[in-house]
């Protein structure tokens, strides 16, 4: 069990560029979550998958954001036409629907939009 | 919709002193409750969880929390704080009827004086 991994750990981009983040959950976990955390705040839910199905999306997830989990394993989060307000830490978590429901978090991807 | 309030943004305690971090939640059904700790620039580590049963739960690193339904609280305690406990602490409630996405409080930053 290697834990949840995220790549890259840091991303600096210019406003208007597209970025993509990857999350690899714990291998036996069928649920995967994305959260966003801005400085000095708690994480906020963005979206979650059960296997490959995206079951819930927050109103925070504007149409510039898209998430996929094509084979029910790793997931990607893409932000198109980035804005300075997108600067945040993007956290991924996973859990098993058959387990204790505790979510295990990855180290996060820190996005800075210049 | 669920919500979590952590009334104390910052707390400073002396090493060896006892600690209590407050958490109040709002949720219509039986809540799943969690405490996570986050060190600077890192992801979230689960300290403890409450789903049902005994209202006093033990966690890692010597932490415990007590669920009080009548007060809608889930306060975190530690009898003797160590310098390494300095970090940000987040209380969260899970939506047991909807994929268990977590709603976090704003966090409490703990500083430890030598």
pLDDT at residue number A112:
97
Give the list of residues 6+ apart from residue A59 with CB closer than 8 angstroms, or none. Answer: none
The pLDDT-based confidence of A101 (bands split at 50, 70, 90) is: confident
Q: Compute the distance between CA of residue B18 and CA of residue B75 in angstroms, rounded to an integer.
A: 13
> Which spans in A1-114 are helix H?
none
* B interface with A, Cβ–Cβ below 8 Å: 4, 32, 34, 36, 41-46, 49, 51, 90, 92, 94, 96, 98-107
Q: What is the pLDDT of residues A57-72, one digit of tens each?
A: 998 889 999 999 998 8
Q: Compute the distance between CA of residue B1 and CA of residue A108 in angstroms, rounded to an integer.
A: 26
Asked if the Cβ–Cβ distance from B90 to A43 is below 8 Å, we say: yes
**Residue A92, CA atoms < 13 Å, CB-side half-sphere:** 30
The pLDDT-based confidence of B41 (bands split at 50, 70, 90) is: confident
In the predicted structure, residue B97 carries a pLDDT above the cut 70:
no
Q: Residue A70 CB: number of other CB atoms within 10 A?
A: 9
pLDDT at residue number A1:
55
Q: Residue B46 is encoded by which pair of tokens?
A: 């689960």
pLDDT at residue number A44:
96
> Which of A5-9, A55-59, B84-88 is predicted with the least confidence, judged by mean pLDDT?
A55-59
């Amino acid at each position: 069990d290697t834990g949840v991994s995220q790549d890259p750990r840091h991303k600096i981009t210019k406003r208007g560029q597209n970025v993509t983040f990857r999350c690899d959950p714990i291998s036996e976990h069928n649920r995967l979550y994305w959260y966003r955390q801005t400085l000095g705040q708690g994480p906020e839910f963005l979206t979650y998958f059960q296997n490959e199905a995206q079951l819930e999306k927050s109103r925070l997830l504007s149409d510039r954001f898209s998430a996929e989990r094509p084979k029910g394993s790793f997931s990607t989060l893409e932000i198109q036409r980035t804005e300075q307000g997108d600067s945040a830490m993007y956290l991924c978590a996973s859990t098993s629907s058959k387990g204790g429901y505790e979510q295990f978090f990855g180290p996060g991807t820190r996005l800075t939009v210049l | 919709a669920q919500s979590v309030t952590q009334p104390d943004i910052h707390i400073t305690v002396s090493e060896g002193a006892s600690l209590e971090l407050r958490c109040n939640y709002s949720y219509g059904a039986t809540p799943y409750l969690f405490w996570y700790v986050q060190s600077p620039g890192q992801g979230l580590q689960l300290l403890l969880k409450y789903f049902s049963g005994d209202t006093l739960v033990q966690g890692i690193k010597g932490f415990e929390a007590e669920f009080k339904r009548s007060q809608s609280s889930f306060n975190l305690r530690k009898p003797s704080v160590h310098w390494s406990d300095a970090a940000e602490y987040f209380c969260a409630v899970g939506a047991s009827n909807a994929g268990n996405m977590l709603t976090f409080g704003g966090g409490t930053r703990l500083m430890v004086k030598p």
